[in-house]
Structure 1
Amino acid sequence: MRRRTLQTLLAASGAAAMLALTPVAADAAPFSGGNYGAYGFEGQYPTVGGCTGSFRQVGPTKTASGMSLKYFYSDRCGSYARIDNSRNNCAAVIERSNSGAGNADGWVSETVDPGINYAYTKIGNNLSGRVSRALLTCDGHVLAYTNWY
């Protein structure tokens, strides 16, 4: 896969505000932009009641620099991204498209907690014709991403 900069992908996807909000330090925290939060379950982690146990991995695990990116989907709740074996200054991201056309209208990210090597995002609601995809970003660059589902 050709390595693209986060700025290039975000400009193409309409989530340019993410650059300004991506933290430099590895302080675990969710960040979001666009119209994220406009749909049910957005703003909740996948452990929220009614969603726990309903997610399954969709598509292959993507890897970059020994780190992995996985996309999980639930037909009840939506989707979330998880990264594993991650280093500091990396984040899991879900981009969501309202129209189903694969242009991000909203996004949420989660940075890696100090002392651990994984992170997972809050839910992105890609139900009712909406689509989403997962990204692994480090140091302001997209290292891996999934298809839109």
Structure 2
Amino acid sequence: MSRRSLRTLLAAGGAAAVMALLPTSAQAAPHSGGNYGAYGMEGQYPTTSFCSGTFRQIGPTQYAEGMALKYFYSDKCGSFARIENSRANCAAVLQRSNNGTGRVDGWVSETVDSGINYAYTQMGNNLSGRVSRALLSCDGHDLTSTGWY
């Protein structure tokens, strides 16, 4: 499936139904920091067969400069961030806290690939009392974020 056709599928069928059809990884290289990768499922994309179809959007879509930021969660696998209608030099970022305080201990980001206008991160494990949030960052500046979930 081409990544461009995803936009059409999302509009027609909703994000949850389409997650199983996403490619197994984004083309851009992910970046991460802090202690990201310390918990199970971190470092994997939400399309892994174990998690596919278990995500739902939590909280409202956030907008900045016409771009959309969405936060998806699975009580089985954790969470990931997704940006849509994005311009170049932007990234979806997922920040994760080791506990419920909302202090960033680990993060992962994914940039928008050339020729498309969306990106989604690898998963963050915000299970067992941990929390996470999504950010839309462009040119090194955070434009908008979701709440901590």
Q: Does 1:83 align with 2:83?
A: yes
**Matched position secondary structure for 2:95:** strand
CA distance, structure 2, for counterparts of residue 86 and residue 118 of structure 1: 6
Q: Percent identity, aligned pairs only?
A: 75
Paired amino acid for 1:65 = E
CA distance, structure 2, for counterparts of residue 99 and residue 91 of structure 1: 25
Q: Does 1:146 align with 2:138?
A: no
Paired amino acid for 2:133 = R
| Superposition CA RMSD, Å | 0.9
Instruction: Give structure 2 stretches of 5+ with no counterpart.
Output: 1-26
**Matched position secondary structure for 1:143:** strand
Runs of 4+ residues over 2 Å off in structure 1: none
Give the TM-score normalised by structure 2. 0.81
Superposition deviation, residue 40 in structure 1? 0.5
Higher RCO (CA 8 Å, separation ≥ 6 residues): 1
Q: Deviations over 1:8-39 (max 9, x none)?
A: xxxxxxxxxxxxxxxxxxx8220000000000
Q: Does 1:101 align with 2:101?
A: yes
Q: Deviations over 1:87-144 (max 9, x none)?
A: 0000000000001100000000000000000000000000000000000000010001
Who is 2:58 aligned against?
A: 58
Who is 2:92 aligned against?
A: 92
CA distance, structure 2, for counterparts of residue 103 and residue 44 of structure 1: 22
Q: Within 5 A, what are the aligned runs for 1:1-149?
A: 28-149=28-149
